Each structure stands twice: as C-alpha cells, then as structure tokens.
A and B are shown apart, each in its own frame.
Chain A
Amino acid sequence: MKSMALSLGGEAFLPQGAIAKRPYTIIAIVAFALVLGGWFLMTNLGLVDPTFMPTPQATIKAAGALFSGSFVIDIWMSTYRVLAGFIISAIVAVPLGLFIGTYAPLNALIEPLMSFVRYLPATAFIPLFILWIGIDESEKIALIIMGSLPQLILMVAVDVRKVPHDLVEVSYTLGTKPSRVLWKIILPASMPYILDSLRMVLGWAWTYVVVAEMVGASSGIGYMMIQSQRMMNVSNIFVGLLAIGFLGLLFDCLFKLINKLCFGWSAQGR
C-alpha cells in the first residue's frame, strides 16, 4: 500500500494540509465510483422500485435513445439560454460592481438596493415575467438575469474591496492619479477574484434555466425532464440530471483553465 500512488504523505491530514495531484485525482475518481457503485447495487439488487429509480444500464440506454432524438438540440437550447443570461449579467455586473466597490457614493446608491433585491427569490418572478414578456426565449433569459445579476454585482463589489489599500496608496506615490486607480490597480488586482465569482454565478444560472424550462418551454433539458416526468420515464430524468452535471463540470474546468492561463501570478490562478 505504501509504495502505491495512494500514499498521501504524513501531512495530508494536518488541517489545511495539501496532497499531490495524483492522489487527488485518484480520490476524486473513487468518490465517483462509490456513488456509481452504490447506485448500481441498489437498483440491480432490487432494493428500490425501478419505476422510481432506473438502473445505470437503463439510464445509458435512455441516453442513447435521447441523443439519437432531439436531446442535442435541448442541450444546445439550455446552454444558449444560460450563456445569454450569464453574459448579459456579467457585462452589466462587472463594471457596476467595480464602481460600487471603488466609489463610496455609488456604493450607497446601489448596494442597499441590491441587497434587498437579492433576497427576492428569482423564481418568484416567473409569473410576472410570463405576463410581461410571454414564454419566449427572453422570459427564460430574464429569469437567469434576475437570479444572477444582483448577486454578481454584490460579489464583484466584495472582490474589489479585497484589494489592499496599500496598493492604492503606493500607486499614488508612483504618480498614479486617483481617477486612474480603478483601471491601473483595482481592476487588475481584483480580476482573479472576479473570475471566481463569475464561475460560481454560472453554476446558479444552470439552476434557473432548468426551472424556467420546466414552467413554460418547448425545448431544453428542463423541458425534456418535465415531459419525462409526465410519462413516468425516470431514466430520461436521470439522463437530464447527469447532462447538467457534466455541463457544469465542463464550464467549471474552462473557468479554472482561464484563471490558470491569465492569472498565474495570483494564488487564485493556481
């Protein structure tokens, strides 16, 4: 056991300790395997009713059928909505958050308001949005924006305030004018944190798209899942869940890659 890849080193279990990349990967794979194995055993040994929980084999078969049908279009539609809502939110929230985090009067103008809006559950706006906008694409995108924009503004503002004031002061002694500090110091210093916030908010956007698609849509992963529920097709629901999980993982990896490539200088970018 000791000579194998899983020897973690004596300090692995010290609080805030670290482990090497290889054991990390192995442990992560084991976690997936455990869940998959548990699922396989439970369903194949007949411990649960197959009407409510499909076997992995049945799920794979259902996936095959779905992918030869219109599921690719569903995935594309959901991804498109998520990205549209997310990108619009980011374009508005990042500059706004930067200004709020930097300039106290703007903070007073917007932060309390956003803190209030943030507590209104985005999903509670669905009836309003359907009345106002209808059930076309813009309604779904509006829901995603409602769910991500206020949060993202506040998160970016917090990220900006993490920039040490010493850096701002030292820039003054190097000839930087106060009007340029936002661009020269605060933006570059907070970029890695902002990217991390974007990554988190993208995850939430997936939640909202599925909800929106369950309520009034004719395409998308959420639509497929609600349709399958009506036909008691649990395998398809499982395929939908797994698809969302994998898409989320994919985008997460993408963000981590960007962080590593662009912000290698930062602890965030490691």
Chain B
Amino acid sequence: MEKEIMYRIHGVTKSYLVGKKAMPALKEINFDIRKNELVAILGTSGCGKSTLLRMLAGFLKPTTGAIYAQHQAITGPGADRGMVFQSYTLFPWLTVRENVEYGLKELKVPKAEREATVTRYLHDVGLDGFENAYPRELSGGMKQRVAIARALAINPDSLLLDEPFGALDAQTRSHMQEMMLDVWQKHPKTIVMVTHDIEEAIFMADRIVVMRAHPGSIKQVIDIDLPRDRDIHIKSDPRFIAYKEEILQLIYEESPAAQRQLMEA
C-alpha cells in the first residue's frame, strides 16, 4: 500500500558558516513524507528541527543533498507550502480578515470568492466575530488561529509548523491541538510540525521523527497507531502512555548524563 510521496529528503546535510568555520547543524537526513500525513519532528532545542523545516519551506538550501516536493527540487519558498512560526507573524497593519485575505489577494482570487473563503476559514479556526480586530488586540492563541487560517486560505499542498503552540499556556495549547486536528480533517493536507513537546507530537502525528543532536540527525521514526478521532481523553489511554515512555527513553539516551554513562560503560 505505497502512498504518494509529498517530500523526499535525500542525503541532506546542512552546515552554517560561523565566522569562517562551517558548523554542522544536520547530518545525512534521508526521509520521505507522504501526502496528507501529519509528521511531527521532535527533539531538544538546538538539534536542527527549524533548520530542517526551513529547508522544506525553501528559506534555506541544503549544504549537500536535495529536497524534492512532489518530485520537483525545492528552489525557494512558494505558495504551495504554507508556514506558521512560533513568533506571531501576523501583519499588524491588517485586520484579522485582511490578514487571512492577504494571500488570496496576492494570488488574484476574485473578491466574492475571497470573502467566502476568508469567512469559511475564520469559522473553522473559531474566530467568528473577530474579523475586524487588529492583531495587537488578540491573545497569543487567537493570533495563531489567524496565522493558521491565513496559511490555509490559499489552499497550499502542505503546512509547515515551527513550534506553533510553543509560546502558549498549557490549556490554550491543548485547545489549539484539537482545533488543528479538526481543521486538518476538514482540509486534508500534508503537515510537518516541529515541536519539543512529546505529548503534542503523539497526540497529533501519524509519525514522529525523533531527532538526536550535535549534529542533528534522525534517531528513530515512530508510527503512531492511534485512532484518528483523537480527543483530549486519548492522552490517558495506555497506548498513548506507552508511546510516551518509548520516546522519553529515546530522548533520555540523548541526554548528556546518559551519554556519559554509555562512554564509561
């Protein structure tokens, strides 16, 4: 049952030039992302998650290797890959409605269709009634809802999320996760989500890519075999907890203390 491939990450390494020295950030990444699956990239801070995502977005070029989106090498950012950053990136001079409408205008969608699309997506992310607010009047969670609606409105093939809920409080975050899954079922897309929150990754993903650091590489890929109509209660399901323990163990092995024990043994 071979599924259609959305992204092929092939022999990708990435080094940053720091002064005159090349500092390796990612080494030898090989990975395929299937169409319409939700992949979570999980790892500690500094392991290269954002670097990988930014290469998928086309903001960065791999040092070696190549990334293909639907068999085409990625040469730069494009409207086929929507992006949501952890830092709120709404256009502050536009209202909520105008923010969501922005991409549709850039793509020259006719006015009547724009209005209908904006209204639909604002409804889907639960922002009815906030159309005319400016971003500075919104809470962090609401800003991210707008950012998600804005990215979805132009109907990209995939959505790249870099710790989208990382700045939110625990309660808001879990609402946002449910909302995101809900929206994703309504508008199927390939979603690649970077996170350092294990529960978030298990709750949302079809597959989790666990990263190791220094330099970043893939430690293990875990299929999350949980029913798709997930809600908050699944977090206390024994299978959920088993995944959590498995991943905790993987990440613990990467911690400096565990590394030292391994060396000494």
- B residues in contact with A173, CB < 8 Å: 57, 77-79, 81-83, 151, 156
C-alpha spacing A167/B154, complex, angstroms: 17
Interface segment, B18-26, B84-92, B223-231?
A: B84-92
Query: Which of chain B's residues have a CB closer than 8 A to the CB of A263?
Result: 93
Q: Compute how far the CA of A77 lies from the CA of B59 in the bound complex, rounded to whole angstroms.
A: 54
- The count of residues in chain B whose C-beta lies closer than 8 Å to any C-beta of chain A is 28
Question: Which B residues lie within 8 Å of A170 (CB)?
Answer: 83, 85, 89
* Interface residue B2 (Cβ < 8 Å from any Cβ of A): no
CB distance from B78 to the nearest CB of A (A): 7
* Contact A174 B154, beta carbon cutoff 8 Å: yes
Can you give 30 contacting A-B residue pairs, CB < 8 Å?
A: A164-B89, A166-B87, A167-B89, A169-B59, A169-B77, A169-B83, A169-B85, A169-B89, A172-B77, A173-B77, A173-B78, A173-B79, A173-B81, A173-B83, A173-B151, A173-B156, A174-B82, A174-B151, A175-B78, A175-B79, A175-B107, A184-B106, A188-B93, A189-B91, A189-B92, A263-B93, A265-B92, A265-B134, A266-B92, A266-B93
Residue from A164, A174, A175 whose CB has the most chain B CB atoms within 10 Å: A174
Q: Are A174 and B89 in contact (CB under 8 A)?
A: no
Chain A residues lying within 8 Å of B94, measured Cβ to Cβ, are 265
| Contact of A267 with B102 in the complex, beta carbons under 8 Å | no
Residues of A within 8 A of B135 (CB): 265
**Chain B, range 133-178, C-beta contacts under 8 Å to A:** 134-136, 150-151, 154, 156
**Whole-angstrom distance between the alpha carbons of A174 and B94 in the complex?**
15
Partner of B91, one of A172, A180, A188, A267: A188
What are the 6 closest A-B residue pairs judged by CB atoms, nearest first?
A: A174-B103, A172-B77, A175-B79, A175-B106, A265-B134, A173-B83
Q: How far apart are the CA atoms of A173 and B83 in the complex, in Å?
A: 6
Structural contact, A176 and B106, CB atoms closer than 8 A: yes
Q: How far is the CB of B195 from chain A (nearest CB, A)?
A: 18
Interface centre among A172, A173, A188, A264 (most CB of B within 10 A): A173
Residue A167 contacts which of B59, B91, B156 (CB distance < 8 angstroms)?
B91
Contact A175 B134 (CB under 8 A): no
Contacts of A266 in B (CB 8 A): 92-93, 136
Closest partner residue, chain A, to B79 (CB atom): A175
Q: Which of B77, B81, B151 has the most CB of A within 10 A?
A: B77
Within 8 Å CB of A167, what residues of B? 89, 91
Q: Report if A185 contacts B (CB, 8 A).
A: yes
B93 with A189: CB separation less than 8 A: yes
Q: Which residues of A contact B102 (CB under 8 A)?
A: 171, 174
Chain A residue with the shortest CB-CB distance to B82: A173
Q: State the CA gap A47–B87 with chains docked (Å).
A: 61
Neighbouring B residues of A164 by C-beta, 8 Å? 87, 89
Given contacts A166-B89, A169-B59, whether A174 and B136 have CB atoms under 8 Å apart is no
User: Which A residues have a C-beta under 8 Å from some C-beta of B?
Assistant: 164, 166-167, 169-176, 180, 184-185, 188-189, 191, 263-267
Q: Are A172 and B78 in contact (CB under 8 A)?
A: yes
In the complex, what residues of B have CB within 8 A of residue A191's CB?
A: 93
A137 to B91, CA, bound (A): 44
A208 to B223, CA, bound (A): 71
Q: How far is the CA of A191 from the CA of B93 in the complex (A)?
A: 10
Assembled-state Cα–Cα distance A92/B59 (Å): 33
A174 in contact with B150 (CB, 8 Å): yes
Q: How far is the CA of A62 from the CA of B249 in the complex (A)?
A: 86
Q: In the assembled complex, which residues on chain A have CB atoms less than 8 Å from the CB atom of B89?
A: 164, 166-167, 169-170
A177 to B, closest residue via Cβ? B106
With both beta carbons as reference points, the residue of chain B lying nearest to A192 in the complex is identified as: B93
**Docked-complex contact B136 and A267, CB < 8 angstroms:** yes
Q: Which of B57, B76, B154 contacts A175 (CB 8 A)?
A: B154
Chain A residues, CB < 8 A from B92: 189, 265-266
Determine the chain B residues whose CB is within 8 A of the CB of A172 once the complex forms.
Answer: 58-59, 76-78
**Bound-complex Cα distance A185 to B147 (A):** 16
**Is the pair B134, A264 in contact by a Cβ cutoff of 8 Å?**
yes
Which residues of B have CB within 8 Å of A267?
136
20 other A-B residue contacts (CB within 8 Å) besides A174-B82, A174-B103, A174-B150: A164-B89, A166-B85, A167-B91, A169-B77, A169-B83, A169-B89, A170-B85, A173-B82, A173-B151, A173-B156, A174-B102, A174-B151, A184-B106, A189-B92, A264-B134, A265-B94, A265-B134, A265-B135, A265-B136, A266-B92
Contact B91 A175 (CB under 8 A): no
Chain A residue numbers with a CB within 8 Å of B77 are 169, 172-173
In the assembled complex, the Cα of A184 lies from the Cα of B106 at a distance in Å of: 10
| A175 proximity list for chain B (CB < 8 A) | 78-79, 103, 106-107, 154
